[in-house]
Structure 1
């Protein structure tokens, strides 16, 4: 039996929190400062977490290793499986020759790369986050941006920035529903509070996207598009989360943002689109005009893979009988060495020691189904499709090792008690905790790559801390969710996914340094908002 303790180092919470933070510091210092390859950084962090779990927290060596094995298994399925199938889907479209038509299709919508970034990364990415999550949005939209001419680093930064505002309500609001189950607070109420926090991000993110693509000049030339898209997304997120349906919030918001932008583009286009594309590509001459003769059939075929993804995920996630049938195929596996031996803080067997094998309901399996559908419509031979899948698996070997090692690190930190120690230390700062509460969610997502996992770690802790400092518990539970969305862009798991998607495998440290300032800046904005909502802006809460 092993029951985690909160302060194993000389009964000091502060010293214990410093020790518990070492694995995270190892990963981010190796990645960000020393520019070590991501898989070596992940493996080094895992080694540090194992040593601290065994020597610092007294976790039996066998249990620590089995905890790492469970995390690695989760890293393979569903996370790595999703990334492999998403990249394979893209490779099939390239192999078929239809990706040039996709590029021309987006040019017909708007030849401006700044507008294309908002449409693909923010609107389409938001819809993918609503239906799939787990890294699929950044993988798919990152590949799409590169395919239409974006430099890989610029594409990676854009999709990581865009994958913020929708995350709280991602996968049909799974993070919020999880928080509700753990705290006993109705998830509808938590969702309503989140719906009064993340719309601020939704309003700002399109401006940041056009700034990333084309600097201040881009913001000056395309601010109407950024404003209309962000405002429509933010308003829809607020209205849907508070008055319609929390699980459907991202779907409604993404569609509202896209429709508002398309309506604007009917009578307005940026005047310097060719110049913007030339600056983006580093060319002296303007890019050629799109092929206006592109017929409806070619447009439909170019968009087919992504329309199919939306259709399949909508049926799988929104149609009850299909969702239930897929969920019924999940297999729960009591994890050897941990089940009934790993105890929670209350002394009961921990429910984290059960691994759910979602072999059919996983988004990766649904993407695999979409891939075979694309191969059939594009008339690719089965042998060709399978060969592309094999090539994708081989190309993912180092990024896959990164993902697996980071998830193993997360499980060791979580199940040994290291993450709880960090969270408890942050929660112990007293009345100022309202300001720092989003930091817990930020840390949780940075470690695990998942807002759902961050809520599983810290939602109950936020609730208890709120009661101690006299703040509405729903506010701080929502703050945990909102803070997590801006931590996703620096998660080593997400960095590995997007680096592979845009063709920068091994350059995760470069991407981390590029997005860290945005993550910290948006986190600071959220901290200030939550603190004000706990005091002078309390009227904002439902």
Structure 2
């Protein structure tokens, strides 16, 4: 048995923490300063983590490699299993041109560009984040807004800022699923606290979007639809994440938010021509005037309805219990680790949810989608293989980062850093969202940031007497605000609207919003750690 040590370097907590941070510093410097591609930075960081584990912490090399292998498996299944199948469903809608039908359907909901920004960037962007994540919402929303006549810069900025509130539950809950696995906290507990933080952002973001589209006039004339949309989105995200399923949180929020928005009479009122002329300064796509048969419009919504239906049925207690029977729990080979108190760690056992996992449920919905959209089996299979190929670098990045996280957690490196950081005391609650924000800003992924810093946040919380669930959730909730300034997302937005090379221009426009909302989140978490908002926690 390998017993973790908190002060293996010269019996000094400070020196041990310095050594333990080397893998994280390596990844962050390679990403932020060297601008190395994420999967290369992840692999190099993993090598450094293995070296620190073996040389500084004395973890046997076999156990170190076994810990990394467990991280790789978790990265593949269930994490990338969810992402691949979700993006596969989207690709099939593109192949059958039902995505274009959906885009035209949204364009006809309202001719007011401020409302269109809410429907497409905020609501539909959240739905895309729920199904795919990993940059897809920004790229697709930007293109759709440009097709409606938005200036490319404004379309990109609106899409980037809108892609905040849904990120923590994106890709069928992948970030919070990862956070729960890395920290050892129950998924329901983590999702519940995140669901009491990010909805507060959802109240503000729609108001910011109409301001970005049309300045003070937009805020003055459309504040009511924006507020109704934000309240409905926030309420649905809170309810789903706390009482239904973390995987359904963004889907429910997107659909309820859009329905509430269109129920407001002001949202359906035709926009005045001066407003349209001032806002729509780009070139409008000609195919928006094409009338689609009602049957095809309904078919365009079928994939999303199927996913909601499958996940809803899977939450019915008898069905949930039946699916759980296929879950396998087994001793992980070559791994026998105890914490500093001498108690075995949870990672000695590995849980494999074969059917009761988001990816398998999305795959089932996707198979039914092939029938509903008329996709031939061979074409559907080619689209699935094409999805894996498209995500090959993302798969390598996620698996390498999770392998790094598992090595750091099981060798004791994360616990050492956590104990050192705990010296911040009560100030730790204010700073915890900043760590998540920084992680997403450099990695472009809330999932990666949770894998890197989740265990550290929990360790620091326990040492300082704060709620582990609160700081773990704060890492993810703060991280969503780093998404809009991450180099990957900026590059995706620029490429989508034909602004290659102008990432700096977008960064200058979105950075103030990122920092402002981060400050709001820091204050929320600080208040939730005290009696001021402590009543909000479950």
Same fold (TM over 0.5): yes
- Offset from partner CA, 1:410-432 (integer Å, 9 cap, x none): 11122122222222222122343
Offset, 1:96? 1.4
Distance in 1 between the 2:61 and 2:528 partners? 45
CA deviation string 1:44-86 (max 9, x = no partner): 2111211121222222112111111111111111122222222
Check 1:180–1:333 CA distance in 2 against 1; reply closer, same or farther (3 A cut).
Answer: closer
Deviations 1:436-493 (A, max 9, x none): 3445666898785376996666446525523xxxxxx55x74244134222256589x
| CA distance 1:456–1:141, shift in 2 (3 Å) | same
Q: Distance in 2 between matches of 1:80 and 1:502?
A: 25
CA distance in 2, matches of 1:313, 1:513: 37
What SS does the aligned partner of 2:289 have?
Answer: coil
Of 284, 289, 292, which aligns to 1:291? 289
1:441 touches 1:458 (CA, 8 Å); kept in 2?
Answer: no
**Structure 2 unaligned runs (5+)?**
147-151
Aligned to 2:324: 327
Residue in 1 that maps onto 2:149: none
Q: Distance in 1 between matches of 2:300 and 2:494?
A: 19
Contact kept in structure 1, 2:84 and 2:391, CA below 8 Å = yes
Written as runs of structure 1 = structure 2, the 5 A alignment for 1:486-497 is 486-488=478-480
* Counterpart pick for 1:145 among 141, 145, 149: 141
Q: 1:103 Cα deviation (Å)?
A: 1.1
Question: Counterpart of 2:310?
Answer: 312
Q: In structure 1, what is the equivalent of residue 387 of structure 2?
A: 392
Aligned length: 514
User: Structure 2 residue aligned with 1:527, among 522, 525, 536?
Assistant: 522
- Counterpart of 1:8 in structure 2 is 8
Query: In the alignment, which residue of structure 1 is the partner of 2:166?
Result: 163
In 1, the alpha carbon distance for the partners of 2:182 and 2:290 equals 50
TM-score (norm 1): 0.77
Distance in 2 between residues matched to 1:218 and 1:143, nearest whole Å: 24
User: In the alignment, which residue of structure 1 is the partner of 2:365?
Assistant: 370
Q: What is the CA-CA distance between 1:141 and the residue it aligns to?
A: 3.9
Moved more, 230-239 or 343-352: 230-239
**What's the secondary structure of 1:449's corresponding residue?**
helix
Give the 3 Å change call, closer, same or farther, for CA 170–54 of structure 1 in structure 2.
Answer: same
TM-score, with structure 2 as normaliser: 0.78
- Give the secondary structure class of the aligned counterpart of 1:332: strand
Secondary structure of 1:333's aligned partner:
strand
Distance 1:19 1:194, change over 3 A: same
Matched position secondary structure for 1:161: coil
CA distance in structure 2 between the aligned counterparts of 1:50 and 1:278, rounded to whole angstroms: 53
Partner of 2:333: 336
Aligned positions of 1:92-171 closer than 5 A: 92-111=92-111, 115-120=115-120, 122-123=122-123, 136-137=132-133, 141-142=137-138, 144-145=140-141, 148=144, 157-158=160-161, 160-164=163-167
1:408 to 399, 403, 415: 403
Residue aligning to 1:51: 51
- The 1:203–1:401 alpha-carbon spacing in structure 2 relative to 1, beyond 3 Å, is same
Instruction: Please say if residues 166 and 250 of structure 1, whose CA atoms lie closer than 8 Å, have aligned partners that are also in contact.
Output: yes
1:420 to 410, 415, 418: 415
Are 2:62 and 1:62 equivalent residues in the alignment?
yes
Per-residue deviation at 1:107?
0.7
8 Å Cα contact 1:110-1:269 kept in structure 2: yes
- Measured against aligned partners, the alpha-carbon deviations of 1:126-175 in whole angstroms (never above 9, x if no partner) come to 5788xxx6x745566456526635679668735642324767x9589879
